[in-house]
Amino acid sequence: MENNFSEKELNPLASIEEWEDDVLVRYPEPFEKSKEEYRNYVDSARQDTVKEFYRLNHTFQTYEFAKNKQEHFLKFDKKEMSIWDAVDFLNTLIDDSDPDTSMDQLQHLLQTSEAIRQDGHPDWFVLTGFMHDLGKVLCLFGEPQWAVVGDTFPTGCKHSEKIVYSEFFAENPDSRDPRYNTKYGIYEPNCGLDNVQMSWGHDEYIYRIMKPYIPEEGLYMLRYHSFYSQHREHAYDHLMNAHDHEMFKWVDKFNPYDLYSKVPYPPNVQELRPYYEDLVAKYLPATLKF
């Protein structure tokens, strides 16, 4: 499956972490820390690149695009790896030009999962935190940044104005397609999110990989942790059923650990690794297909 995009269109951000930095600007921690006490995310040049990122995301993430990506990547024929090989693979994404952090992806995963563990949650919840961003390996399979990270949203129906930079959906072909541009589009009221085609990215990918292995509560966290227009704005209640609403209580529990566990002090990987080796071995096979 070839991507006919220029380098600038493939990688509008200097680092895929710029998207997560922007989420923190939009949804600052509601407790005691200020943005200044974390990292300084407000920069006009970065805001411009994030805006371009969303222009591309909202223009090209159509219903057919998402379906085609699923058909391509959910064959799981790209690479077979142990979790630790996958983490090493993901660590090659670190961007030396990013002045805000020298942490690799493993350290972010550990910050998230350790915050969950310290709060006494079940070990499957800890594992979910450890695994939640592993789907970003899609970038290393040639996927555009805007098809790996970014706020996720339903396709096949009208785009909510509560989605970040929703004005850019004017260039999305689905916005002019009568099949897809009404409130419900191709769906029935309260049909349930399992029947909805979400935009493509690392959330859906890691959810599909982990589906046989962890409880449903964790799977909802993986699948919808970037669905901010719903779990922050309740923009798609009309598509969700009662079971979705119940499961989203777990998404809401997970979200603060993802967003607000990032501090400038790296975890001690060597000290923590034996615990995570045992945890991974408890739930997952020796290798996974990506």
Domain-embedded: residue 2: no
Burial of 15 (0-12, 13-18, 19+ CB in 10 A): buried
What pLDDT sits at residue 289? 97
What pLDDT sits at residue 18? 87
Termini Cα distance of the chain:
16
Per-residue pLDDT tens over the stretch 205-229: 999 999 999 999 999 999 999 999 9
Domain-embedded: residue 285: yes
Domain-embedded: residue 76: yes
Residue 189, pLDDT above cutoff 90: yes
What pLDDT sits at residue 200? 98
Domain count, the chain: 1
**Confidence band of 290 (pLDDT split at 50, 70, 90):** very high
**Confidence band of 94 (pLDDT split at 50, 70, 90):** low
**Confidence band of 36 (pLDDT split at 50, 70, 90):** very low
Query: Residues near 284 by Cβ (< 8 Å), separated by ≥ 6?
Result: 83, 213
β-pairing, 80-81 vs 288-289, is antiparallel
Residue 39, pLDDT above cutoff 60: no
Domain-embedded: residue 1: no
Only one residue has tokens 């974390």, namely 38
* Sequential DSSP letters for 88-139: HHHHTT--TT-TT----HHHHHHHHHHHHHHTT--HHHHHHHHHTTGGGGGG
Domain-embedded: residue 280: yes
Range of the domain at 33: 7-289
Residue 232, pLDDT above cutoff 50: yes
Domain-embedded: residue 116: yes
37-59 average pLDDT score: 76
Each as own residue / partner, the long-range contacts of residues 276-285 (CB below 8 Å, 24 or more positions apart, any chain) are 276/110, 276/113, 276/130, 277/84, 279/123, 279/126, 279/127, 279/130, 280/83, 280/84, 280/127, 280/130, 282/123, 283/124, 283/127, 283/213, 283/214, 284/83, 284/213
Residue 101, pLDDT above cutoff 70: no
